[in-house]
Amino acid sequence: MKKALVLVLIGLSVAGCTQTEKGAAIGAASGAIIGGAITGDVRGAAVGAAIGGVSGAVIGNVADQPGQCYYRDRYGRRYVDDCPRGY
């Protein structure tokens, strides 16, 4: 019951956030879980949370910009540009 209550409170607290903030929160939580599971320590969870938070914020920021798409070039750099026509 306590876990369900915590999840409901977390869901309500995120409901008023922008897409960028939601993306950062979801990315950080996912990154922390994955990083902690892979490495088995707190340092891995912290690194995973940092990487996931930044990635989630970038993706969430694109969601706030209609007509803009998220791309990655051949060197792995991320950028935002106009979506192709008809997309």
State which residues form the domain around 65: 1-86
Residue 80: DSSP 8-state: E
Give the whole-angstrom CA distance, residue 61 versus residue 24. Answer: 9
Whole-number pLDDT of residue 64: 66
pLDDT tens, position by position, 30-66: 888 888 888 888 888 888 888 888 888 877 776 666 7
Query: What integer pLDDT is reported at residue 77 of this predicted model?
Result: 84
Domain count, the chain: 1
Q: Model confidence over 2-28: pLDDT tens digits?
A: 666 555 556 655 555 667 777 777 888
Distance CA 37, CA 20 (A): 25
**pLDDT tens digit string along 38-48?**
888 888 888 88
